Structures are given as structure tokens and as C-alpha cells.
Structure 1
Amino acid sequence: MNNHEIDFKLYGDDMQFVEVELDPDETVIAEAGSLMMMDENIRMETIFGDGSPDKGGLMGKLIGAGKRVITGESLFMTTFTNEGQGKKHVSFASPYPGKIIPMDLSELDGKLVCQKDAFLAAAKGVAIGIEFQKKVGAGFFGGEGFIMQKLEGDGMAFVHAGGTMHKRVLEPGETLRVDTGCLVAMTGNIDYNVDFVGGIKTAMFGGEGLFFATLKGPGTVWIQSLPFSRLASRVFAAAPQGGNKNKGEGSVAGGLFDLLGGDRR
């Protein structure tokens, strides 16, 4: 294997974290801010790029880093290396309620395409780049920032899905339409595109996004029931506006006082 071979264990149900077991000199890479805890003798280091084997020297690194910027990610990633004598553990937590999905790239023909914010961690050697969409305009404006990352290699990677995760296997020629925010990941052999929702009334008043992803088999797709953007919009809509923090917001009595111009002092 070209990638480091790591063992892992998942904990929890709706707020999961993954514990990665590292042998001496083994390394795992992760996005900044995903660390939960780690044993002693694990060295944490910020690196430029993803730590995968160099392709094209410095220019190749700069191009790879530029692709990460396009997806909204940082130029840098963090590596965790076991410099001790025995097995050590490092844990990474999911950013919001959902599931952590372990993906063995050696069983997925060496490539996985996923949403830009789905990647959590991976064995060192996994290359993380951008998957260019056939229709560039649709890719950038295809609802909730439909920019896909690609994970390439033969090691283990971990992606995160919001809410409940559903795995769907598509037969050759079988087509599935998915809200762009609900698509988590898919194997590299899936033929996909981003299409505009037909009908101006449906687009403007249907309550759904303006775009959906059209996926065509053969291959496997992973779908989430609760995209973070949908969760965030509902929280924002329910949040009190105007900073009225001391007026019993959310209560019937508070609403009546506001309506009647009552004074609570």
C-alpha cells in the first residue's frame, strides 16, 4: 500500500467521533479543527497541502493548494504521527449531528468524490483535490455550493454526513435525482451532473433548491438527510431578531406584552 494502513473505532450514535490507532511512525491527516484528543508521543504538525506523494514538485504543491482554496478549505492540513514505541490513539469528532462514514479507498477503485465539507480525516498518502464539474457554472451555482472534492489513494478515509446516512447502489443506467445539499459522496464511476429545476413556479415557490444532482449508475452514492446548510438556515430563522434577549422571546406571554406595548420592568 502507498498510504499508511490505520486501524480505527467509531464511538457514539448521533454525535460520533472516530478513534484512529497508529502504529509507530504511522500518520493520519485531518482538517483543522477536527481534533478531539490524542495520546502522548503523537506529534502534531501543520503541513502545506495534504502530504500525499509529490507530483510535479513545488508547482504541483501550489496547484494542489490552489484547488483546496477553490473548495473553501485551508491551504494547510494537520498531520498526527506516532513517535512513540507502542500503539497510540488520536480521535476526531464530527462537526454537527450525523454519522462518520469510513471509506476504504482500496475497495472503491482508488477514488471517492465527496462534498467539500464532508472530509474529516484520512491515512497519510491520500490525495485531496477538487473534482471539476462538466458544467462549471452549474458546479459553482448548483445549490449550496456544489463543489466536489476527490479523495484518491488506497488508504482509509473518513467523511461526515448530517442526520441519517443512506447508502444507495445504482445499477448500470439507473438514474437518481438528489438535492445537491443531500449528496455526501459517490464512487468515481458515477456519471453525475447538476440540472436546473424545471418550471419557474417550482423554482421560485416550491420550497426546494434551484438545482438538483442527477446521478447515473453503475456505482454507489451516500446521501444525508440533514445538510448542515439546511440545519443552519432553520436555526437562523428561529433565532430572535433585533437582540431582544430579555423579553421572554418565544413565549405566549412575551408576545402579548410586545403586542400590547407592556413594560416588564
Structure 2
Amino acid sequence: MVDFKIMGNDIQHLYIELSPGEKIYAEGGHLIWKSSSVNIKATTGGGLLSGLRRTITGASFFVLELEGPGAVDIAGFAPGRITEIDLSGNGIMVEHRAFLAMEPTVNYDIRLTGLGFGWLGGEGLLMARLQGNGRVFLHAIGDALMLELGPSDSIDVEAGHVLAFDEGMKVGIRRVGGLRTMLFGEEGLWLAHVEGPGRVWLRTLSRQQIIMGLMPELSRIARST
């Protein structure tokens, strides 16, 4: 069985030990280092159609297939936390840029989200669907939260903070306040509305927050060059 270890604190990375013949799939560009004995190749992870489906979500056409024996170390593109999810035959909907790695027994597909939900989060209307009997690893900017909702529970979330949720949950958009909220509210006029039962994974920072937080610093660097 593949040995996964989530390591680090504020900037985490995923250390993987592979026995001979064992494989994992990882999003391209996340590899830090690998043992020279680990074979690496680019694959669509299921044929031409799978590759095309991935590009529709905005992800890369190919994933990396890494085969042991040896060690592999991968990480996300920004400071944050890595979340391990054991699917156990179930499916989850994932913001595609959060995908980091998965076992080969997991299938990568795409699904259309509720109209407006993904678009308001700045991620498009399509999300990755991961389903199968295996483990997947997601990268969350900032910290990662998991909320378990009962049949009568629901939450409203700023859309850019949604990392993943169990397949089959009802997800849509909800209007927040009136004209004053629209003009002065930090979160805009709409929030993602998620209804239980099921699990929801959130990230404490959105990509928009990261960009807005860096803009003053970037502008000062640009002026000094």
C-alpha cells in the first residue's frame, strides 16, 4: 500500500513512498523531487477523453504518473494545507486547481455545478469529480476546514472559499442583503448556498484574497525596478 505522509506546518508538502509497481497520479507542476528509481510519465489518466475533460475545467491535459520503487515529494502552488480524503466508493466535487494527487483506483471526471456557483467563485461552471475506492489529496490555500452537515443543515459560503463537497449535495447561489450590501459589502451580492446531508471542505483564503493582499507589495516592487 502506498505510504502518504503530509509534512510541514504552514507550507505543507506530500511525501510519498512507493514500492515496486505502485503508482500514484499527481497534477503536473507540483513535483518537488523524486528518487531516480521512480519512473515518471505524462498521461491523460484514462485516454483522450479524460484529458479533454480535464482541460475543460481549466486543469492541464496531462497528469503525472509516478511509479515506484522510491520516494516522491509534491506540494501546492501557494502556502497552505493538504487535506486527505478517503473516498471509499463515494464521489466528491472539487475545485479543479485544488487537486494535488490521487491513487490510481480513483477516477477523474467533470461535472457542471449549479448555474452561477462556480462562476461567482472565479473558477468557472465546471468542477472536477473524483470517485472511486482510494485516497485523494487536495491543497487548500491558508487552512482547510471540514464541516459535516445534517439533513436539515445548510451554510452560506463566500464562493471562493469552497474547496470540495460530497457529490449529491444541493449547491446553489443565494442573494445577500440589498443595495447597500451590493455597493459596500466586501463579499458582493451572492454567496454559495450548500445544503446537507454531507461534508463540505473550505479553505480559509481565496485566490482573490491572496491576489488583493499582494497587490500593494507587487506595485511597490514594480516601481522600484
* TM-score greater than 0.5 by the shorter chain: yes
Say which one has the larger Rg.
Answer: 1
The one-letter amino acid paired with 1:100 is I
Counterpart among 97, 102, 111 of residue 122 in structure 1: 102
CA displacement 1:37-75 (0-9 Å, x = unmatched): 11121101011x224xxxxxxxxx443323212211111
1:240 alignment partner, SS class: helix
Distance 1:167 1:140 in 2: 19
The correspondence of residues 124-139 of structure 1 with structure 2, limited to 5 A, is 124-135=104-115, 138-139=116-117
Question: Following TM superposition, where does structure 1 have runs of at least 4 consecutive aligned residues deviating by more than 6 angstroms?
Answer: none
Residue deviations 1:115-140 (CA, integer Å, cap 9, x gap): 121100111232112221242xx145
SS at structure 2 position matched to 1:244 = helix
Secondary structure of the 1:25 match is coil
What is the number of residues matched between the two proteins? 224
Q: RMSD of the TM alignment (CA)?
A: 2.0
SS at 2:151's partner residue?
A: coil
More strand by percentage: 2
User: Could you tell me how far apart the structure 2 residues matched to 1:97 and 1:210 are?
Assistant: 29
* Partner of residue 136 from structure 2, selected from 142, 153, 157: 157
Query: Shift in Å at residue 198 of structure 1?
Result: 4.6
Distance 1:94 1:65 in 2: 21
Contact 2:181/2:188 (8 A) holds in 1:
no
- CA distance in 1: counterparts of 2:221 and 2:204, whole angstroms: 31
Structure 2 unmatched ranges of 5 or more: none
- TM-score (structure 1 length as normaliser): 0.78
Contact 2:120 2:160 in 1 (8 A): no
Among 174, 193, 201, the residue aligned to 1:214: 193
2: CA distance, partners of 1:101 / 1:140:
21
- Report the alpha carbon displacement of residue 239 of structure 1 after superposing the two structures with TM: 2.4
Alignment-derived partner of residue 55 in structure 2:
69
Deviation at 1:141, TM superposition (A): 2.6
- Report deviation, 1:174: 0.6
Distance in 2 between the 1:39 and 1:63 partners?
31
The answer to whether residue 11 in structure 2 is matched with residue 15 in structure 1 is yes
* Aligned-partner residue type, residue 70 of structure 1: I
SS at match of 1:50: coil
- The corresponding residue for 1:141 is 119
* Cα distance in 2 for residues equivalent to 1:243 and 1:101: 35
Q: Please, which of 158, 181, 188 is the counterpart of residue 160 of structure 2?
A: 181
Task: Give distance in 2, aligned partners of 1:213 and 1:81.
Answer: 39
How far apart, CA to CA, are the structure 2 residues paired with 1:95 and 1:81? 23
Structure 1 unaligned blocks of 5 or more: 52-60, 247-265
Identify the residue that residue 169 of structure 1 maps to in structure 2.
148
**What is the aligned counterpart of 1:113 among 65, 77, 93?**
93
Partner of 1:38: 34
For 1:94, which of 37, 58, 76 is the aligned residue? 76
Q: Secondary structure at the match of 2:214?
A: helix
Give the match for residue 66 of structure 2: 80
Does the CA-based 8 Å contact 1:113-1:185 persist in structure 2? yes
Q: Take 1:91 and 1:178, find their aligned partners in 2: how far apart are those partners?
A: 32
AA paired with 2:60?
S
> What do the CA deviations read for 1:76-117 (whole angstroms, capped 9, x no partner)?
1111011x4xxx2111112211110111111xx421111121
TM-score (normalised: structure 2):
0.91
Pick closer, same or farther for the CA change 1:184–1:192 going to 2, 3 Å. same
CA separation of 1:127 and 1:75: change in aligned 2, threshold 3 A: same
Counterpart residue number, 2:210: 231
User: Is the contact between residue 117 and residue 192 of structure 2 (CA under 8 Å) also seen in structure 1?
Assistant: no
1:103 counterpart = 2:85:
yes
